[in-house]
Every structure is written in structure tokens, then in C-alpha cells.
Homo-oligomer: A and B are copies of this chain.
């Protein structure tokens, strides 16, 4: 079972076909809306299984919409140690333990402190066990996270570039079947190894310590 979390970033950053796919396949997913993302889901005609936020800045029409449509509303007011996205991920896990993939939309394109909180989310001690379940999507980026191990990546349709981004100190990073390869590379700080590419439909990589973010993207 997959959960889709929509957070409040600008709509023009949603994947190109997000609204169509979301409404046509609404029944196939658990839907969680964070703050303005909950309002946006309701406007799409999707009833969020969970709505997270304090909705302080929402209009009374928007608050009413969420109250009518959302199956459950969780106040973010009492959980100020977490961002709305963090809380949405934690509550998704709590209420829907059967979920094995958490897709986050609306997490890019606005304030950079929010974007970085979303990228760094899986580094928090309460979140690391969820790292490989969480992915972020926008109209030109697909972001996934990996803990130590060996992995196969599949080239996503319409994506051109492949980036490996150690978010922490990373040891023994090996990139196979990519345009630029690496063997046993070590990094002691975050770095974005940008603009790599698939050489065929699959690529492999492995590392022994740390957290690596992988981004497939296009211009």
C-alpha cells in the first residue's frame, strides 16, 4: 500500500500530470494532506485520510472544506517540534502501518528552509528507519534515499540526469553502469555529485556507511 502526502509548496512544481493521475487513481492510495496540501486535496475532490496542520492561515472556507472532507484531522499546533511534512510522515506510519511507500508531493519550489527540511527529513533519528520508503516528486525531479547496502536503480521515463548525494559522511561509495563511475569513494561532508547519467536502463551503486540521496531529473 502506498501513501501520497501533499504538502503546501507551489502547484506549478507538482508533477505535470499530478492532478489527473491523483483523481483517476485516488482509490489506490492513502492520502495525507499537510496544511495547504490538505486544502488542495479537498479542492481536487480527494478526501484526505489524514489532514495535518494548524490551518491558522487558511480562510474559513478552506477550514470548512477540510473539516467536511478529511476523515481525520491532526492538529500541528501541539507538535511544534516537527514541520508539517515530518508530522505527516510520522502520522502516516502510525495510522497506516501497512504503508510501504510514502510519496511526497508539493515539497519543493518555495522556501528553501522548507525544502531542506524535507530533504534532510530522513536524517532525523525518528525517521531514518523510514528513509527507503520516502520519496519526493516534482515536475522535474524524483528523489529517493538509501541506507548502506547495494542497490539497482531503474531509469525513469523522461528523466535525463542521475545524481548521487551523500547527505552525511559516506564510506565506500561505488557507482557502476553510470556515465561517471566511482570506486570506494569517501566523503566526510554532504556533497551533490550532480549531472551523472544512466548508460543503460539500469545502474547499480553501493556504499557501506551513511545516507545517500539519489535524484533523477531533467531540464
Contacts and interface: CB of A to CB of B under 8 A. Distances in A.
Given A110-B219, A113-B215, A140-B111, A194 B83 contact: yes
B111 A161 contact: yes
Contact of A168 (B140, B163, B189): B189
A47 interface: no
B112 A217 contact: yes
Contact of A165 (B116, B138, B195): B116
A217 B108 contact: no
B117 A194 contact: yes
A190 B111 contact: no
A194 B108 contact: no
Contact of A124 (B112, B143, B161, B191): B191
A53 to B, nearest CB: 13
Contact of A113 (B111, B120, B168, B192): B192
Count copies of this chain in the complex. Answer: 2
A58 to B, nearest CB: 13
A148 interface: no
B217 A120 contact: no
A124 B108 CA distance: 25
A191 B81 CA distance: 13
Nearest to A190: B120
B217 A113 contact: yes
24 contacts: A83-B195, A109-B109, A111-B140, A111-B141, A111-B217, A112-B119, A112-B138, A112-B141, A112-B163, A112-B215, A112-B217, A113-B161, A113-B194, A113-B215, A115-B115, A116-B165, A116-B194, A116-B213, A116-B215, A117-B194, A120-B189, A120-B191, A123-B190, A189-B211
